[in-house]
Structure 1
Amino acid sequence: MPEILSPLSVLLLWAVLGYLLGSIPFGVVISKLMGLGDLRAIGSGNIGATNVLRTGNKAAAFGTLVLDGGKGAAAVLIARAFAGEDAAQLAGLAAFAGHCFPVWLGFRGGKGVATFLGLLLVLAWPVGLLACLTWLAAVALVRISSVGALAASALSPLWALVTGNGDTALLCALLAVLIWWRHKENIARLRAGTEANVGRDSRDKKAE
């Protein structure tokens, strides 16, 4: 982790701002604006891009993916510009927590994968790029989105170390633990061989 230079009050401020930014439920907002209904009553009830895709609207899913990733990136960039690297990492973590536990939705949010990738791409772009490539490779190999998320998060601390971004390794490890915990139901289905494949209609399944 980076050297802590900012006062506690400054760090707390950026944690709160990062959380509020991360808690914006773009999937829910986009689905309503595009007349797709309440996303929480569709498929898995998740607010992320994977569940938006179950509405059949690829544009809405892509918009959700970009905005969910963008809010993680924005939290890091803004905190870095006004406070420093220590605040940037904390704001990124808080944005991730905001997506997973948004106050506006009774703390029932998404699984944070897009936000995770977005914040890593601006926090340490080599780590973010390798995490994205890991996700793509895993999904291309097994055609299961959750496997990509689990692989990308699990390997991110290693990518931080091998690319010379060791100060982000602890954050990557913490985010990986949270992502695996958020995917505990997916992991159970993977063990049972019932996890849905990418592109398969799984509106009635509790997939990611």
Structure 2
Amino acid sequence: MTITVLTLVMMLTAYLAGSISSAVLVCQMRGLPDPRTQGSGNPGATNVLRIGGASSAAMVLLFDMLKGAIPAYLAFRIGVDPVSLGLIAVSACVGHIFPVFFKFKGGKGVATAFGAMAPIGNDFALALITTWIVMVLISRYSSLAAIITAMLAPAYTWYLDDRFIIPVSMLSALIVIRHKDNIHRLLKGEESKVSRKKKDKT
């Protein structure tokens, strides 16, 4: 496969879009602490849930998913090949993980990766969301839910639309690799469970 100039331009654009840290910006708008210095130190929706509550976390989750969904959907509409589509989607995630606008210190890339996968179809998106929610409810570990969902994503793709196995597998591998530290903490029983900020009593 030859990577075209169009693919390279879209990869760069996706990376720059991914580099916009939704968690940092939402926390700034809402007068919350910088998520990079509070909680787990990870600028993502789960950490914002811990320090700012559900509404702030929902905003971060939505924006982070759109960072992956929009470049992937545009690439799909243009008709790029599956491998190029995967590279564009991965570029958005890499931007989230290593954001050029925020000193290359970003999040895990889970929401951005899932957002990039979501345009494959409603059934596929529902399968990802359901798997993540069920695993969080069972384990109370956001990281474990993300890892298991990522590992199951290629199987869901094979069953629902096997044209996208390559790009989904690329994104899934990126998520699992990004969670290597979480895997070590899970094995040691040291991983933090999901919790939300408690409202101050007045």
Gaps in structure 2 of 5+ consecutive residues: 198-202
Residue identity matched to 1:122? P
- Counterpart-to-counterpart distance in 2, 1:108 and 1:79: 26
- Counterpart-to-counterpart distance in 2, 1:178 and 1:90: 11
Asked if 1:30 is matched to 2:26, the reply is yes
Asked if 1:13 is matched to 2:9, the reply is yes
Q: Is the contact between residue 27 and residue 48 of structure 1 (CA under 8 Å) also seen in structure 2?
A: yes
Asked if 1:141 is matched to 2:138, the reply is yes
TM-score, normalised relative to structure 1: 0.86
Asked if 1:84 is matched to 2:90, the reply is no
Q: Is the contact between residue 50 and residue 195 of structure 2 (CA under 8 Å) also seen in structure 1?
A: no
**Counterpart selection for 1:46 from 42, 50, 53:** 42
Q: Is the contact between residue 73 and residue 122 of structure 1 (CA under 8 Å) also seen in structure 2?
A: yes
Change in Cα spacing, 1:28 to 1:130, as seen in structure 2 (3 Å) is same
What does 1:1-208 align with in structure 2 at a 5 Å threshold? Answer: 8-81=4-77, 83-86=78-81, 88-163=85-160, 165-199=161-195
Q: Percent identity?
A: 37
- Counterpart-to-counterpart distance in 2, 1:31 and 1:200: 15
- Residue 169 of structure 1, CA deviation: 1.2
- Residue 79 of structure 1, CA deviation: 2.8
- Residue 118 of structure 1, CA deviation: 1.1
Change in Cα spacing, 1:7 to 1:181, as seen in structure 2 (3 Å) is closer
TM-score, normalised relative to structure 2: 0.88
Residue identity matched to 1:55? I
- Counterpart-to-counterpart distance in 2, 1:37 and 1:14: 33
Gaps in structure 1 of 5+ consecutive residues: 202-208
For 2:107, what is the secondary structure of its paired residue? coil
- Counterpart-to-counterpart distance in 2, 1:79 and 1:183: 27
Aligned length, in residue pairs:
195
